[in-house]
Amino acid sequence: MKTSKPKLYQYNVCPFCWKVKAILAYKKIPYETVEVHPLNKKEIRFSKEYRKVPIFVGPEGQQINDSTPIMKFIDQNYSEQPVFEREEKSQAKEEEWLTWADQVLVRALPPLIYKNISDSITAFDYITKEEKFNWFQQRTIKYSGAFVMTMVAKKSAKSQGIKDPEAHLKKCLSLWAEALAGKDFLGGKKPNGADLAVFGILRSIEDLPAFKFIEENSKVLNWYRGVEGLSLKAA
């Protein structure tokens, strides 16, 4: 399936999808997004075994699944603005924080942004701006998605032992601030793969009330704006 531009199959609220968009923006790579219907997923029927997002399809039709492998594929195949660390010691630290981003930071978000039906509906407001879905589809996705994610968030909080989602996210942000150790980025003078992964995850909630916790942490906010400025605001 050849295409003139690479395509990113996504949900606009998906933090893993924003990881990919962060590296694409940083490298200034033109691409197309395909918003996937979260209920029937008809847009990714071509993907027989992998039924999640993000899916990245390169201009030669290469299908890459999952956010971190996609980021690494992009970095290897688009040489402009290299991102991932090349030295073994730096790679180990980068991988440690990439894993933390996917296993800890991402999992801290649902219990906070989907903690009740009202907040979940707010998070799904974006779908009403997706013109590819008709009025009925928009409302079905919005309200059924909000209900499902509220249930998922409660189960996630319980499994992680999170009793105070706000305090948990603040702790995560403090850990990231400590990891930066006064540097502009984890990668030093420029963002590395972990910087862009964490940025993308946090970018996914920029339009939601929960983003106030990033704004309240000055070290994290300064770092965030630094990455944002270099990537011309990943979109």
Active site amino acids = 11, 14, 16-17
Strand, helix or coil for residue 188: strand
What are the CB-based long-range contacts (under 8 Å, 24+) for 204-211?
Answer: 204/13, 204/14, 204/15, 204/17, 204/18, 204/109, 205/15, 205/109, 205/113, 207/126, 208/113, 208/122, 208/123, 209/119, 209/122, 210/109, 210/112, 210/113, 210/169
Instruction: Please spell the DSSP secondary structure of 30-44, one letter per residue.
Output: --EEEE--TTT-GGG
